[in-house]
Structure 1
Amino acid sequence: MRQMLRAALAFIVMALAARTAMAANDLTIEITKGNDQAIPIAVVPFKGEGTSPGTDVAQVVADDLEHSGRFDPIDRKDLISLPGAGDTLNYSDWKMINANYVVVGKMTPEGNGYKISFELHDVLGQKRVLGQYVSASRDQLRAGAHFIADQIYKKITDVRGAFSTQIAYVSATGTDQNMQFTLNVSDYDGYNARQVLSSNEPILSPAWSPDGKKLAYVSFEGGRPAIYVQQLTSGKRIKLTSFKGINGAPAWSPDGRRLAMSLSKSGHPEIYVMNLADRSLTRLTNSSAINTEPSWSPDGQHILFTSDRSGGPQLYEYTLGSGQVSRKTFTGPYNAGGHYSPDGKNIFMVTRDDSGYHVAKQSLENGRVTVLTKTRWDEAPTIAPNGTMVEYATQRGTQGVLGLVSDDGKAEFVIPSTKGNVREPAWSPFTD
């Protein structure tokens, strides 16, 4: 991969996608590495009443918890019994299979859907610690399952679950002059995908607005890169920039009033901030280097960006107000595509070593770098809004797919594409 700065040079992101047409795959998240220190939890198949709902809600709950890397659901064939409620649960039985927690539930027909009642039991403490219900229509049963997983995750870890969030991503099909690009939105695990935009020209760098109602992205549909903002419900969109040269890497400020971006309208790619109220631009960087991939700190006071001003791609931080620029990465010859963690304590990025390009995490307190992935061609890391999972684009053979890794690197998964090559994932914020 001939990378210098992926987003600044725009076409590189889709270079792999343009090489080959891919056949459709079944969408099933595949475990590539598990966490041997994860909490053992038994998620019992929910008792159903009436006709079959068509969605295994308990299995979706178990999968969500496993994807976080914090939990190790016990295989169904090893479950000692199948209770539908806590009053029939014998804690001693579950201790025998080393379950720390047990989830039980039942589904009752309600209108055009189901009322899903669920309980979480602490086996070691021998008590029920959570009991709730959620109503869901037939086509929203996965959403109901994600809600349940969120509640269980929060109760045990005291961290808000992010399973009800979404991702945006770009897929590419076809070859050469017949390439077709689509911007899509789906559940975080790739299910329930819907198309937002289709084009025969590349689409890059989708970015969610803080309220989760809009996407900013780069499209080449007019023959040159332009930055657009599109409302997801209505499909209405506006073109913000279409300067000569690079218009790339839009990033929303935490208050949703500004967009940082990389523009080369003055010659070299520089970091600018646009006030969305009047579309006025403020230039932040001024150098002969390539400056791109801006990302806002959670408090809106700093912007992280990639620059080759030191001779190779590294991450720098611009402090708003003072205009001070400081280098943040020093380990290795290549660190790019940086994003702050939601708590502002870490940076997630792509780093390069002798084995390829990997997703890594760097502590802002002590500078320690932890490489999270083992795959060779990783790019575009995006962090769950609770900071516990990272989704990224990678290669599987000749196909572009999405990967998912826990923030400590102890659990990894691959999300094969349903169609074509997949790139540029962007994780949605919490919306309530």
Structure 2
Amino acid sequence: MNRRTFSAAGGLALALPAHAQFRVEISGVGATQIPIAIPKFREEDRVPHPLSAIIRADLERIGVFRGIDTVAVLDETTQPNMSEWRAKAADLVLGGSVMRLADGRFDVRAKLWDAVRNKDLGGQSFVVAPGDLRQGAHRVADFVYETITGEKGIFSTRIAYVTRSGKSHSLRVADSDGENGQVVITSMDPIISPAWSPNGQEIAYVSFHERQKAVVWAQTIATGARREIAAFRGSNSAPAWAPDGQSLAVTLSRDGVSQVYIVGRNGENPRRITNSSSIDTEAVFTPDGKSLLFVSDRGGGPQIYRTSVSGGGAERVSFTGGYNISPSLSPDGRHLAYISRQGGAFRVYLADLTAGSAAKALTDSSDDESPSFAPNGRLIMYASRSQGRDVLMTTTLDGKVKSKLVSTAADVREPVWGPFGR
């Protein structure tokens, strides 16, 4: 849903791959940050991407690590002088190498050391295709994060977002830092509300072109194959996949006012979930698939409610003011992120649904939209405005570390984080 209006929301053509060209700007200080030195990998200057810089940006963005500046080069076979690195205030040291093979692929290797305890923490090696070299850097960042925290890293996952340049709209899939963007579909009419399938192989979205009204489609990313999910009378909008991938929640106005329905993965057997005279929309499934959170103005202004997938009564869950939209649930179902309008400013808020405490603002900006959790629940991506442009941002759950993924190409909106796996 657009952050400015409470309403339901393309010629379309498959496009060739295109790069989004982002750069990451990180600000803020996390509650706990581990200093890590990431010297240049051996032979890094001979390959197209600065692996050490990509790894550092990944680790700093999640708020757990703080990079230590260094001009050194260190590979995985060289034992670092731990006392020298400790003198530079580094608790961890990461070394590695990258080498182009005869067939054009790249051999990427990395090793992590604990400089405080003078301990080898293990390493990683793999071969990647030329187009996946940045992905190799993300995989190393995942290795470091999981080694230190015990949690799965999210840097090698993907995101989707919509770009707008003039009258052209494109749905893109990119690396988790916004780079390496590939166009899924493009249109001269709006494309809105992208939603990843649980297996990461499909994206549902809303297109306005084919029927000159809002229609929900699903598209297989690898092949470009598309199918209609919802093209009923009236408007069809706000798709959200069930956790098992076999059905979707959608907003339909087929019976008059916009209401929440559940349909099969091919649009079959529509079943109405909400029954009100108000606008009910933007439904998302809880992780167990038993409930839906959705937005309704049944109380006078848009608020977030919860109901069973069987239908029935609804319980209000947002209480931070008179205008709350765009719910997003963390993968464990504990946290709810949403957009709240406070004094004319649209900001990302976070509520702990298990604690009963008041929701807190994570941002101090004024034009935020579309929050989406990383698949490990540790970061939230959202769209905002910066210097007159629509940009992508991430924030940690305490709001202390924010990253701006600055596009040099087009306005960027409606981000959604994909699941683990590719």
2:92 is aligned to: 101
Query: Do residues 64 (structure 1) and 52 (structure 2) align?
Result: no
Q: Residues 324-367 of structure 1, C-alpha deviation per residue, up to 9 Å, x if partnerless?
A: 42111112222211111011111111112226111121000123
The Cα of 1:154 is off from its aligned counterpart by 0.6
1:327 is aligned to: 316
1:16 is aligned to: none
Q: 1:43 is aligned with what amino acid?
A: I
1:20 is aligned to: none
Worse-matched range after superposition: 148-157 or 353-362: 353-362
Mapped contact 2:259–2:280 kept (Cα < 8 A)? yes
The Cα of 1:243 is off from its aligned counterpart by 2.6
2:16 is aligned to: none
Q: Secondary structure at the match of 1:286?
A: coil
The Cα of 1:167 is off from its aligned counterpart by 1.1
Q: 1:126 is aligned with what amino acid?
A: N
Count of matched residue pairs: 410
1:371 is aligned to: 361
Mapped contact 2:273–2:310 kept (Cα < 8 A)? no
Separation in structure 2 between the aligned mates of residue 287 and residue 393 of structure 1, nearest angstrom: 31
The Cα of 1:281 is off from its aligned counterpart by 0.6
Q: Residues 96-138 of structure 1, C-alpha deviation per residue, up to 9 Å, x if partnerless?
A: 1221211111223333132222111112222011212121233
Query: Do residues 38 (structure 1) and 33 (structure 2) align?
Result: yes
Separation in structure 2 between the aligned mates of residue 417 and residue 110 of structure 1, nearest angstrom: 32
Mapped contact 1:214–1:232 kept (Cα < 8 A)? yes
1:181 is aligned to: 169
Query: Do residues 431 (structure 1) and 421 (structure 2) align?
Result: yes
Q: Secondary structure at the match of 2:46?
A: coil
2:152 is aligned to: 160
Q: Secondary structure at the match of 1:76?
A: coil
2:198 is aligned to: 210
1:286 is aligned to: 275
Which residue, 409, 412, 415 being the options, matches 1:419?
Answer: 409
Q: 1:117 is aligned with what amino acid?
A: R
Mapped contact 1:219–1:228 kept (Cα < 8 A)? yes
Q: 1:220 is aligned with what amino acid?
A: F
Mapped contact 2:229–2:267 kept (Cα < 8 A)? no
The Cα of 1:295 is off from its aligned counterpart by 0.6
Mapped contact 1:86–1:121 kept (Cα < 8 A)? no
Q: Residues 288-347 of structure 1, C-alpha deviation per residue, up to 9 Å, x if partnerless?
A: 111111111111111111111111111111123463421111122222111110111111
Aligned in 2, Cα 1:199/1:349: closer, same or farther, shift over 3 Å? same
Separation in structure 2 between the aligned mates of residue 123 and residue 306 of structure 1, nearest angstrom: 50
2:9 is aligned to: 10
Aligned in 2, Cα 1:87/1:234: closer, same or farther, shift over 3 Å? closer
Separation in structure 2 between the aligned mates of residue 108 and residue 197 of structure 1, nearest angstrom: 34
Q: 1:418 is aligned with what amino acid?
A: T
Mapped contact 1:180–1:201 kept (Cα < 8 A)? yes
Query: Do residues 410 (structure 1) and 411 (structure 2) align?
Result: no
2:326 is aligned to: 337
Which residue, 126, 142, 153 being the options, matches 1:150?
Answer: 142
Q: Secondary structure at the match of 1:58?
A: helix
Which residue, 199, 204, 208 being the options, matches 1:220?
Answer: 208
Separation in structure 1 between the aligned mates of residue 267 and residue 407 of structure 2, nearest angstrom: 39
Mapped contact 2:96–2:109 kept (Cα < 8 A)? yes
Q: Secondary structure at the match of 2:22?
A: coil
The runs of 5 or more residues in structure 1 that have no matched partner are 12-23
Q: Residues 122-181 of structure 1, C-alpha deviation per residue, up to 9 Å, x if partnerless?
A: 12222011212121233321011011111110111111001111111111111xxxx111
Q: Secondary structure at the match of 1:333?
A: coil
Mapped contact 1:25–1:416 kept (Cα < 8 A)? no
Separation in structure 2 between the aligned mates of residue 64 and residue 126 of structure 1, nearest angstrom: 25
Mapped contact 2:242–2:289 kept (Cα < 8 A)? yes
Query: Do residues 399 (structure 1) and 392 (structure 2) align?
Result: no
Q: 2:50 is aligned with what amino acid?
A: D
Query: Do residues 380 (structure 1) and 370 (structure 2) align?
Result: yes
Q: Residues 32-55 of structure 1, C-alpha deviation per residue, up to 9 Å, x if partnerless?
A: 434363211111111128x81121
Aligned in 2, Cα 1:382/1:25: closer, same or farther, shift over 3 Å? closer
Mapped contact 2:3–2:346 kept (Cα < 8 A)? no
The alignment yields a C-alpha RMSD, in angstroms, of 2.1
Separation in structure 2 between the aligned mates of residue 322 and residue 288 of structure 1, nearest angstrom: 15
Q: Secondary structure at the match of 2:228?
A: strand
The Cα of 1:204 is off from its aligned counterpart by 0.5
